[in-house]
Amino acid sequence: MRPALTQLSEDEIQFRDAVRSFAENEIKPLVQEMDHKAEMNPQLVKKLFEMGLMGVESPEKFGGAGSTFTMACLAVEELARVDASISVLMDVQNTLVTNAFLKWGTPALQEKYLPKMATEWVGAYALSESGSGSDAFALKTRAEAKGEKFVLNGSKLWITNGKEANVFIVFANIDSTKGYKGITAFIVEKGMPGFTIGKKEDKLGIRASSTTELLFNNCEVPASNVLGEVGKGYKIAIETLNEGRIGIGAQMLGIAQGAYEAALNYTKSREQFGKSIASFQGVQFQLAQMRTELEAARLMVYNAARLKDSGQDFIESAAMAKLYASKAAEKITSMAVDLFGGNGFTKEYPVEKFWRDAKIGQIYEGTSNMQLQTIAKIELGI
């Protein structure tokens, strides 16, 4: 069962269905292999560009679709319904990197990078470090001004799209005595001298999505590649992540939807005691609980996306959407494994992967505790 169509416009429904068809026909046959190898199929990345999914909000003059944030979230959801790894690649591209360029990039930077990002270049967002996770501004990576350049030294961890990316938004501190007010965002291209991609993490879930270390050893970046203003990187990070949380909520929503549909279909066909297990009230109650929590998560994610598109305050709604959708995804995928019984514990069936993929939702782009903190501070006015 799908949500009421009144939640979406006709254009949104057509777009959603087109992405769903692409995911079912092009991505689904490759999911198991990509998960096993922990590698993204490069042809799928190419097809994401061909579908226009890597520049959903980019203006048409830059080769993008010129669409809305809500449209981007619908695509994230539909891709995650089949494979969360492909979904997060597209999510980071749109809700973090492209959004940052649109909001903070100079016209020259937008002209230089957005056309490439809409047609061929993957983007990555490099904030986290070994000692800088929830304490996002405890950065050790340094940037020193030298004439018309900045020289970066340090490292980043947990960088999504690290292997595939051509362009990175990298946060570094130009003056540690100023604390977070020294943090500056730089645009770093793959291949710049002094910049290398480090180890790739071997993860529990979203295994085909590359998560890598980035290393900077006297990496020279043109001063023109500062994103926003020098010393204002903290503001870019906060505001971009507020938007990105909605995208992660959409990803969790898609994972939960995929697991729920798999469980629903399985319970109709699996027989015990001479009839389908869907005929047992205990199973029916579990399905009803899954469906209800799924719909609640969907309404919260869509609401946050609509608020963002309409220019209204969405920060609390974004935190609530990510918090609830990530918890709902973990619960729904776990229940799906239970309903599959022993089969759910094998890789022959899809639900164990949905369960593994769901766990990251309560960790990246702000842990659940950080979302609770954001909500509480807004409610208390502190």
Kindly give the residue spans of alpha helices, DSSP state H, lying in the chain.
10-22, 31-37, 42-50, 69-80, 84-91, 99-104, 107-119, 233-269, 281-309, 315-340, 351-358, 368-380
Within 10 angstroms of residue 364's Cβ, the number of other Cβ atoms is: 20
Q: Is 39 a catalytic residue?
A: no
Helix (H/G/I), strand (E/B), else coil: 182: helix
d(CA 90, CA 203): 19
Radius of gyration (Cα) for the chain, nearest Å?
21
Q: 10, 144, 365, 379: which one is catalytic?
A: 365
How many angstroms separate the Cα of 310 from the Cα of each of 10, 41, 307, 314, 364? 18, 36, 5, 10, 26
Which uninterrupted H or E stretch holds 213? strand 211-222
- Which positions are catalytic? 365
